[in-house]
Structure 1
Amino acid sequence: MSKLIFVNLPVTDLNRSIAFYEGVGAQKNPQFSDDTAACMVISETIHVMILTHDKFRQFTSLPIADAHKTCQVLLCLSENSREEVDKTVDGAAKAGGRADPNPQQDYGFMYGRSFSDPDGHIWEVMYMDMAAAQKAFAAE
């Protein structure tokens, strides 16, 4: 069995966050969702648990950061093409997020953009042409 990742994020408005993550292509798994949390499935191995602040506090005694003011983590998803990177970021903006809070990256063999969700959590979205990357690294 493949290892799974469950990214846990505190959110201020659960329903808004559900709508946002559905807007970027995630599907809500009702089996692991209730009025305090929702499991948003990005892929077979990537799940985002969005949790109300009260629910999130059950897992840590540390203060919950305001991701609009501080950054603790940058999350990154891969896509299969430059066009899919753009589609994902544009979809995030249409769903209520912010497109490109970080500068766009274009190294020829690698292309990346970013978005932030309504609570300020930043997601990097990247595509890498592995054949072009191998050529670029071999030339060095």
Structure 2
Amino acid sequence: MAQQIYVNLAVRDLSKSKAFYQAIGATLNPQFSDDTTACMVISDTIYVMLMTPEKWAVFTKKPLVNAHEASEVMLALSCDDRASVDRMTDTAGEYGGKADVNAKHDLGFMYGRSFEDPDGHIWETVFMDMSQFPTAASSDA
């Protein structure tokens, strides 16, 4: 079985956050969701667990940061192509998030943008075309 990742995020408005993540392509797994938690499936190996602050407090006593004011983590998702990067980032901005919170990156072989979800968690969307990765110049020495 492939290793999976569960990204746990505290959210202020669970309904709004579920709608946001569904808009950018995630699906709700009702089996692991209730009125305090929503399991949003990004892929067969990536899950985002959205939790109310009260549910979050069950797992840690550390105070929550306001991700609109302080940086806590930056998450990155690979995309199939540049158009997918643009589509996800633009959709995030249209559905309660904020598109392009960091500078766009275009290195030729790598293209990336970023967005915040409604609670300020930063996501990067990235496409890499390794066939365009620059090769080191060979030395004649």
Fold match (TM-score > 0.5): yes
Give the deviation of 1:131 after TM superposition.
0.7
Count of residue correspondences: 138
1:29-77 per-position Cα deviation (integer Å, ceiling 9, x unaligned): 0000000000000000000000000000111010001000001210000
Give the deviation of 1:17 after TM superposition.
0.2
Cα distance in 2, alignment partners of residues 21 and 27 from structure 1: 8
Cα distance in 2, alignment partners of residues 90 and 106 from structure 1: 17
Cα distance in 2, alignment partners of residues 52 and 34 from structure 1: 11
Aligned to 1:86: 86
Cα distance in 1, alignment partners of residues 135 and 59 from structure 2: 42
TM-score normalised by L of structure 2: 0.96
TM-score normalised by L of structure 1: 0.96
1:107-126 per-position Cα deviation (integer Å, ceiling 9, x unaligned): 11100000100000000000
The structure that has the greater radius of gyration is 2
Query: Judging changes above 3 Å, is the alpha-carbon distance between structure 1 residues 139 and 132 closer, same or farther for their aligned structure 2 residues?
Result: farther
Cα distance in 2, alignment partners of residues 47 and 109 from structure 1: 27
Give the deviation of 1:95 after TM superposition.
1.2
Give the deviation of 1:138 after TM superposition.
3.1
Is there any run of 5+ residues in structure 2 with no aligned partner, and where? Answer: none
Aligned to 1:72: 72
Give the deviation of 1:93 after TM superposition.
1.0
